[in-house]
Structure 1
Amino acid sequence: MIEIAVLFAISCVGLAMALNLWRLARGPTTADRILALDTMTINAIALMVLMQIQQGSAVYFEAALLLAMVGFVGTVAYCKFLLRGDIIE
């Protein structure tokens, strides 16, 4: 039963990533594109955790933690660049 639930969740996260990719390409403003990229990072983390549940490997959890840290720093850098025009002061 858990296998079916994991496959359903993977397909839902895949659909969400496709919709985020569409928003990333068609976003009317730069802020929309930054938000779509951040949401896409969160969906990638969810996909990695679901793959860990499906395969039973701890490597996916560590990769998800690394992606979360890099995604957060990247989002902050994009937003700071958007607001100030410079990342490092």
Structure 2
Amino acid sequence: MMQFESLLVMLIVGALAGWLSGKIMAGRGFGLVGNLIVGIVGAFLAGLIFPALGFAVGGGFLASVLHATIGAVILLFLIGLIRKA
């Protein structure tokens, strides 16, 4: 079972990643709240997919934010492709 502190850190990292990804992918975001949700989902997906691919950026808070931001940017890109289709 995930501890409360781990969940809280994951939410903070995801929210920060969502904000950053909204800045990086200007014009493809969903507003502040939507980007925060995308960041949290992107952080979760990056945590599942990147280790399976052997992709790692290191440990620590900043590495986690970078990892989650990459996942959120990829997610925003994919959502943008689906919205245009």
Q: What TM-score comes out, normalization by structure 1 length? A: 0.34
- Return the index of the structure with the highest Cα Rg: 1
Instruction: Return the TM-score normalized by structure 2.
Output: 0.35
